Chain A
Amino acid sequence: MLESGALVVDSVSHCFNHTEENLKHDHAQRWNDETFELGEQLQPDEYVHPKEVFYRDHSVEELERLLFLESEVDYTNYHSLPLDDYFHDGLVSREKGFELRDRNPNRVSMYADINPLDDDAVEQVEYFVKERNVEGIKLYPSRYQNGQDLSLQLNEDCVRPVLEKAAELDVTSVGIHKFIPFATAPVRYFRMGDVEDAANAFPDLNFEVIHAGFSFLEETVFAMASHENVYANLENTIHMACSRPRKFARSLGEMLYWAGPDRIVFSGGSTALHPQAAIESFWDFQIPEDMRAGNDYPEVTDEIKEKILGKNALRLLDKDPEQVKKDIEGDKWDKLRQERKEDGDFPAEPWSTYETPA
């Protein structure tokens, strides 16, 4: 929670499994390595995992301590990942997400991964929404199958029934990975054209484009400015506030100028990145004066920061901030935080609460 009392809501957390036993595809190890390197490039040194912490099957208990003791995150939205073409458990398993939510029902929402090529993909949407109460679904733009990279763009016939079912069930949001290409999937899969088509076709669904601002910025800004149901999810991007401030300033400045501050959401990127690194640097962030003057970018006020760090996500999830505050007041994490604050140990040192302490 911020000093102002505003909640910090993390719009993407994962519980990764980076173990050797989990590798399925030839490029899976490279995927893990590049994720580690991304953390090295995007974060201050003190927040970078020791390798023995990173290359393991992160546990639910570790993730909740990371979020609620090592960072100021009050509420998180867990996304499972459908990457079972590269990793045996999909890289971020659903079951860990459900366990995290079961352990912390007042602090966790969940988007379930769906592979539209599964024969029962539509039934899976129905099951996860109705039986497991997920608030959204998570899609990837490509899948590796039978030796080929298959396109899973949101405007394709195989994806449409999944979106139709999601709309029918009043799903809050569809999270779609974009902007960071992986393995051998063609770059065109990571662009925005299909999101615009889907946003037009399904006006009652919200589309969160994950890693917004990392690349294809002008396409992203256009989609946000022309569609009220397109949101920028800053997973990984927001860590550029501490490591690539001018690139981040340009991405944020363009979004704010063209689309405004109400459809941009913070993500901490756990467990691949450390959420507190992003929270602190974003709270201290300001667009450099020369960039503001040359581009008419607005000042990033505390009000805008509170929206991006929490208020927008709660609105997207249809949560009342005051109710969330009441629900978490005095819970296990609130008490532990208070104890640590009295000892001057909140937030705890990066990765210090892990089973393999840093």
Chain B
Amino acid sequence: MSIYDTDTDPEADLGHVTPDTEFESDLAMDVKAQLREVLDPCSCMSDHPIDIVDLGLVDDIAVDEETGEARIDILLTSQRCMYVIDITDEIRDRVESVPEIESADVHQVTSGKVWTAERMSDEQRNERRERFEARIEAADITPYAEQSD
């Protein structure tokens, strides 16, 4: 739902947690594994559930191994997202289910940084496009630009 430049912008500033992001801390990796279980509510409605890491909603993960405190920064697709409470609660519940985690804080990034479709994993973006193209093919639609040739 971003109004900002999307997946074709080569200059977009990303720097977020992706499915491929590695952390030195095993505990941080465990937290990330739990975040991959949290599904984006809107994607569930579209019959193609995407977890919040694949969608690029997780901006950062920080853990203190001594105190067992975790902090998860999330950047929503829209600051107006009405599911923020549900997402936050599920993140907290899942992360606190990790035995070494005592508490989890979830922070919504409001610095002005914006979610773009480029933050989605390549796999998810490609799948979305494949679904679109399959639908076009099933409907036997010839692109206008090719009709004109």
Contact = CB atoms under 8 A, between A and B. Distances in A.
A interacts with B: yes
Interface of A: 34, 38, 41-42, 180-181, 184, 186-188, 191, 214-215, 218, 221-222, 225-226, 240, 244-247, 249-250, 256-260, 290-291, 294, 296-298
A246 to B, nearest CB: 4
A244 B3 contact: yes
Dominant secondary structure at the B interface: loop
B136 interface: yes
B132 A225 contact: no
Dominant secondary structure at the A interface: helix
A225 B143 contact: yes
A250 B4 CA distance: 11
Contacts of B6: 246-247, 250
Contact of A298 (B1, B3, B42, B145): B145
19 contacts: A38-B3, A42-B3, A186-B45, A188-B46, A214-B1, A214-B3, A218-B129, A222-B139, A225-B136, A226-B139, A226-B141, A246-B9, A247-B5, A250-B6, A256-B144, A256-B145, A258-B143, A260-B148, A290-B10
B110 to A, nearest CB: 13
Contact of A240 (B3, B80, B136, B148): B3
A247 B139 CA distance: 27
Nearest to A214: B3
Interface residues of B, number: 28
Contact of B80 (A181, A257, A259): A181
B67 interface: no
B93 to A, nearest CB: 23
Given A218-B132, A222-B132, A244 B143 contact: no
B128 interface: yes
Interface pairs A-B: 4 shortest CB-CB: A260-B144, A246-B5, A218-B132, A247-B5
Contact of B143 (A214, A257, A294): A257
B25 interface: no
A302 B80 CA distance: 37
A226 B148 CA distance: 16
A260 B82 CA distance: 35
Nearest to B41: A187
Interface string B26-51: 00000000000000001001100000
B8 interface: yes
A310 to B, nearest CB: 20
B5 A257 contact: no
A258 B3 contact: no
Given A181-B80, A240-B3, A246-B9, A187 B42 contact: yes
Contacts of A226: 139, 141
Contacts of A257: 143-145
A263 to B, nearest CB: 10
B141 A258 contact: yes
B97 interface: no
A229 B108 CA distance: 41
Contacts of B107: none
A357 to B, nearest CB: 29
A29 to B, nearest CB: 14
B76 to A, nearest CB: 12
A247 B80 contact: no
Given A225-B141, A226-B141, 5 more contacts: A184-B82, A186-B45, A186-B82, A221-B132, A226-B139
Given A41-B3, A181-B78, A259 B135 contact: no
Contacts of A41: 3
Contacts of A191: 46
